[in-house]
Chains A and B, each alone.
Chain A
Amino acid sequence: MEHTRRAAEKAQRADIRTRWLLSAPALVVIALASVGPLLIVLVYSFLSPGPYGDVIWKPSLEGWFNVFFSRDIFDDTVSFADAHLSILWRSIKLAIGTTFLTFVFGFPTAYFIASRSPRSRAIWLFLITIPFWTNLLIRAFAIQEVIRNEGIINSLLMSAGLITQPIQMMFTDFAIMVGMTYVHLPLMVLPLYASMEKLDFRLVEAGYDLYATRLAVLRRIIIPQVRPGIIAGSILVFIPSLGSYVIPRVLGGGRNLMVGNLIELQFGQGRNWPLGAALSITLVFIVLVALAFYVRNVGKSGGSHG
């Protein structure tokens, strides 16, 4: 008895060792590519800024202090860093708005594709991925061409006599939202499609058969079934849109900053690397909190069974 038990324990230990060895390459990549750089950023946020960028190896909390407070350069009075906090808050709002809009447009799109015949599904999916072939910057400028004051929409409306003054769309939050929704839409459609493809459409029929209207079938049967796709899509859209840099830069102009632009500013013209590093860590922290909150709330209401 004792002998077999010890043998079993030994086998189990060997098994665990094998598993660690097998996952070692992945762990090394994660350590080098993800944890390592993040640690460097974390360390930088506690150092002092150098006069021409870079950092001086002198510990300081100034970077973190500047995230939340600002010190008047003349009389050293301390006040809340309204600018930083409002930019952070704006970024969160725009990211949530983008996630919501991509869901509103992405859900019917994914449903449409999933309900096609297997052959035409491949074609539709292919069309969805086409925007990825083009550089993000070029796509941003393309949107600019559509919505700027002399752009397609305004000139069409004006030649139709519907408006006399061009509608100001460029350099507004609207422009940023349009751009981010457009850019991130495939990231919502693809995971939604992946879970809708597995959806058993006979369940939809069963719903109709049991007196559920189209809306009730959507709410009570389809959405609970594709919840994993909704979670994955929302995460994939929320995270990059919160840290968005190119779209707010091109479509929001200099005035409508998002936190990504703010961070870039610190590492560039601002020459305040510790502040940039502290802002970056803050952003990571916000993402983590948002994710934990989201997964807990959206994940639990469907029951543990899937």
Chain B
Amino acid sequence: MRENKGDILLLENPCRFAIEVRGVSRIYGASSERVTALGGVFVSIRENEFFTLLGPSGCGKTTLLRLIAGFDFPTEGEILLHGQDIAPLPPFKRPVNTVFQNYALFPHMTVAQNIAFGLEMLGKPKDEIRARVDEMLKLVHMEQMRDRYTGQISGGQQQRVALARALAPQPKVLLLDEPLSALDYKLRKEMQIELKRLQSETGITFIFVTHDQEEALTMSDRIAVMSAGRIHQVGTAREIYDRPADRFVADFIGETNFLQATVVGTANDRATVRLASGEILDAGLPERFKPQGEVTVVIRPEHAQLFADDGEESGIKGVLENVVYFGTDTHYHVRLGGGDIFIVRRQNTRTSVDVLEPGVPVGIRLGSDAALVLRD
């Protein structure tokens, strides 16, 4: 029972990064039918950070999490925990704990026994375990449930127990594998706030895996957007949303209008482009990027405004095709001269009236920094 006591990785010189992933690949299968789950990923996760791996299913985010936890081993590359390579260590020697997607609570143990399990395995003294279990039950507001079996509590309560169980041994890094996906909408919202609170209260680095962009944007300090086994962009929610690095990120996060355009000229970090429909547009450029010829320009629907086209104001011209009411806002689908659909979003107020009917000619007004040229 105590055979592993003491050989849990001890961290001598804490470094700025909790986790550094260096050139990690994970390739499954024999040479004939190789599947690359992760292809040469580099990412550094800071201490005390709420870091999110965001991407569609099959993008490699869970694979990366499992590599950090130690349930799987990289085909190549190394994973550093506070500067020390943990890639060869089995999961039970890594000071890293996981909250599993389906919680994976032990059904033959009570809530308190579940929470105590990790501490028992570390060989902690009995009274220390009891104190720590009490503390954890309080932290997740589950004091009343301590002697229930895990099959006798609700999904949201199981979620809290899973969190308490993973936090009890005070890991250096907490891994969360889509922990909120099984909860209903209201509860999910509650738990998002709860997770944020737990992270700031415990000061533990959280690595959170999700496919839900809203979850990622609202909770994370930084986000890594992944697809097809690689990381497209790492940045804060604002950076990812406002300055997407490539087409995938722009498309995956939020809604975006993609417009084909030709570069007319560039100056500093701005470009002048001509749209397929003939309008000339001023657009921002990503860093160190001087495009020529055909490019894609992205414009967020909420950064554009719609007006009835009476021929007096300039802007992108089109015909209003459809009006979709969403409660908080209304989406206007505009058919542009070149044939593309452009979506404009307007925030609703209680008294806002739709003066524009489908079929009328409309113009689209853009703020000075609404348009952005994509890197590819």
Residues of A at the B interface (CB closer than 8 Å) are 200, 202-203, 205-213, 215-216, 220-221, 224-225, 302-303, 305-306
Select from chain A the residue with minimum beta-carbon distance to B118: A210
- List, in ascending order, chain B residues with CB within 8 A of A205's CB: 71, 91, 98, 100, 104
**Among all A-B residue pairs, the 3 with the closest Cβ atoms:** A210-B118, A206-B104, A211-B121
Q: Given A216-B121, A305-B149, decide whether A208 and B90 contact each other with a Cβ distance below 8 A.
A: yes
Q: Given A215-B3, A216-B1, A216-B121, decide whether A209 and B107 contact each other with a Cβ distance below 8 A.
A: no
Chain B contact-residue range equals 20 to 34
Q: A210-B166, A213-B3 are in contact. List 4 more A-B contacts (CB 8 A).
A: A206-B105, A208-B91, A210-B97, A306-B108
Complex formed: what's the CA distance from A306 to B117 in Å? 18
Select from chain B the residue with minimum beta-carbon distance to A203: B104
**Does B122 touch A at the CB level, under 8 Å?**
yes
Complex formed: what's the CA distance from A210 to B1 in Å? 13
Q: Given A206-B98, A210-B97, A211-B121, decide whether A303 and B91 contact each other with a Cβ distance below 8 A.
A: no
Point out the residue from B90, B108, B165 that lies within 8 Å of A210, measured CB to CB: B165
- List, in ascending order, chain B residues with CB within 8 A of A211's CB: 4, 8, 92-93, 118, 121-122, 169
Complex formed: what's the CA distance from A200 to B100 in Å? 13
CB distance from A148 to the nearest CB of B (A): 44
Complex formed: what's the CA distance from A210 to B4 in Å? 12
CB distance from B236 to the nearest CB of A (A): 29
Select from chain B the residue with minimum beta-carbon distance to A213: B4
20 sample A-B contacts, Cβ–Cβ < 8 Å, listed by A number: A202-B102, A202-B104, A205-B71, A205-B104, A206-B98, A206-B106, A208-B91, A208-B92, A209-B69, A209-B71, A209-B92, A209-B97, A210-B97, A210-B165, A211-B4, A211-B8, A211-B169, A212-B92, A212-B117, A216-B1
Select from chain A the residue with minimum beta-carbon distance to B149: A305
Point out the residue from B71, B122, B169 that lies within 8 Å of A208, measured CB to CB: B71
Whether B100 pairs with A202 at a CB distance below 8 angstroms is: yes
Complex formed: what's the CA distance from A151 to B102 in Å? 55
- List, in ascending order, chain A residues with CB within 8 A of B278's CB: none
Select from chain A the residue with minimum beta-carbon distance to B115: A210
**Does B151 touch A at the CB level, under 8 Å?**
yes
Complex formed: what's the CA distance from A220 to B114 in Å? 11
- List, in ascending order, chain A residues with CB within 8 A of B97's CB: 209-210
Complex formed: what's the CA distance from A208 to B109 in Å? 16
Interface centre among A203, A209, A225, A306 (most CB of B within 10 A): A209
Whether A210 pairs with B121 at a CB distance below 8 angstroms is: yes
* Residues of B81-117 contacting chain A, CB below 8 A: 90-93, 96-98, 100, 102, 104-109, 117
- List, in ascending order, chain A residues with CB within 8 A of B244's CB: none
CB distance from B70 to the nearest CB of A (A): 7
Select from chain A the residue with minimum beta-carbon distance to B1: A216
- List, in ascending order, chain A residues with CB within 8 A of B105's CB: 206
Complex formed: what's the CA distance from A216 to B122 in Å? 11
Residues of B at the A interface (CB closer than 8 Å) are 1, 3-4, 8, 69-71, 90-93, 96-98, 100, 102, 104-109, 117-118, 121-122, 149, 151, 165-166, 169
- List, in ascending order, chain B residues with CB within 8 A of A207's CB: 106, 117
Whether B92 pairs with A303 at a CB distance below 8 angstroms is: no
Whether A306 pairs with B107 at a CB distance below 8 angstroms is: yes
- List, in ascending order, chain B residues with CB within 8 A of A210's CB: 92, 97, 117-118, 121, 165-166, 169
CB distance from B182 to the nearest CB of A (A): 13
Whether B121 pairs with A212 at a CB distance below 8 angstroms is: yes
CB distance from A301 to the nearest CB of B (A): 10
Whether B70 pairs with A305 at a CB distance below 8 angstroms is: no
CB distance from A206 to the nearest CB of B (A): 4
Select from chain A the residue with minimum beta-carbon distance to B3: A213
Complex formed: what's the CA distance from A208 to B4 in Å? 11
Complex formed: what's the CA distance from A195 to B92 in Å? 25
- List, in ascending order, chain B residues with CB within 8 A of A200's CB: 104
- List, in ascending order, chain A residues with CB within 8 A of B169's CB: 210-211
Select from chain B the residue with minimum beta-carbon distance to A303: B108
Complex formed: what's the CA distance from A222 to B375 in Å? 52
CB distance from B370 to the nearest CB of A (A): 46
Complex formed: what's the CA distance from A202 to B91 in Å? 13
Complex formed: what's the CA distance from A224 to B104 in Å? 15
Complex formed: what's the CA distance from A220 to B92 in Å? 14
Q: Given A206-B100, A220-B117, A305-B151, decide whether A213 and B106 contact each other with a Cβ distance below 8 A.
A: no
Select from chain A the residue with minimum beta-carbon distance to B113: A303
Complex formed: what's the CA distance from A213 to B166 in Å? 17
Complex formed: what's the CA distance from A205 to B166 in Å? 13
Q: Given A208-B90, A212-B92, decide whether A305 and B107 contact each other with a Cβ distance below 8 A.
A: yes
CB distance from B98 to the nearest CB of A (A): 5
- List, in ascending order, chain A residues with CB within 8 A of B3's CB: 213, 215
CB distance from A280 to the nearest CB of B (A): 39
Interface centre among B91, B149, B165 (most CB of A within 10 A): B91
- List, in ascending order, chain B residues with CB within 8 A of A206's CB: 98, 100, 104-106
Select from chain A the residue with minimum beta-carbon distance to B96: A209
Select from chain B the residue with minimum beta-carbon distance to A227: B108
Whether A209 pairs with B98 at a CB distance below 8 angstroms is: yes
Complex formed: what's the CA distance from A200 to B103 in Å? 12
CB distance from B307 to the nearest CB of A (A): 56
- List, in ascending order, chain A residues with CB within 8 A of B69's CB: 209
Select from chain B the residue with minimum beta-carbon distance to A302: B108
- List, in ascending order, chain A residues with CB within 8 A of B109's CB: 303
Complex formed: what's the CA distance from A200 to B109 in Å? 15
- List, in ascending order, chain A residues with CB within 8 A of B121's CB: 210-213, 216
Q: Given A202-B100, A206-B98, decide whether A213 and B92 contact each other with a Cβ distance below 8 A.
A: yes
CB distance from B177 to the nearest CB of A (A): 10
Complex formed: what's the CA distance from A211 to B171 in Å? 11
Complex formed: what's the CA distance from A1 to B206 in Å? 61
Complex formed: what's the CA distance from A303 to B112 in Å? 14
- List, in ascending order, chain B residues with CB within 8 A of A302's CB: 108
- List, in ascending order, chain A residues with CB within 8 A of B166's CB: 209-210
Complex formed: what's the CA distance from A213 to B117 in Å? 12
CB distance from A226 to the nearest CB of B (A): 11
- List, in ascending order, chain B residues with CB within 8 A of A220's CB: 117
- List, in ascending order, chain A residues with CB within 8 A of B91's CB: 205, 208-209
Complex formed: what's the CA distance from A210 to B108 in Å? 16
